[in-house]
Amino acid sequence: MLTSASEHFVHSTEPELATWAIRRVLSAASAHPELTRLVGEYPLAPTASMMITQSGSKLFAQVTGQSKFALTQDSPTVFSLALVGPRLEFELDSAGKATSVTLDQNGVRQKAKRK
């Protein structure tokens, strides 16, 4: 939405426009419930967990002490990390919420239940 009625302080002169813009950004960020059901913590070992987070239409994976990586969606429940090669396969319950993830990397498969 464009405006010619305001200059620098659009939030003061046209608060409804500022509110509309904020609502639009917030709704876009949460418009992917199919990804939200996968978000959570998945313990891999007593001192290491994989955190799955969401930002807009992207999922991210971060293992304790490592960098966060964007995931590429291969199917509704399978994701991969193009840079380093692992594959993540989520298992869902009858309500469609993730219960575990299997990490497949370098020929080793490790299953982690959602915390």
**33-113 CATH choice from 2.60.40.290, 2.40.128.50, 3.30.1330.40, 3.40.190.10:** 2.40.128.50
- Average pLDDT of the chain? 86
* 49-68 pLDDT, tens digit each: 999 999 988 999 999 999 99
The position carrying tokens 């967990």 is 49
Whole-model pTM: value is 0.72
Rounded to the nearest 10 degrees, how much is the dihedral formed by the CA atoms of 56, 57, 62, 68? Answer: -80
Flag whether pLDDT at 8 surpasses 90.
no
Model pLDDT, residue 14? 73
Each residue's pLDDT tens digit, 76-89: 999 998 766 799 99
Name residues whose C-beta falls within 8 Å of residue 15's C-beta, 6 or more positions apart in sequence: none
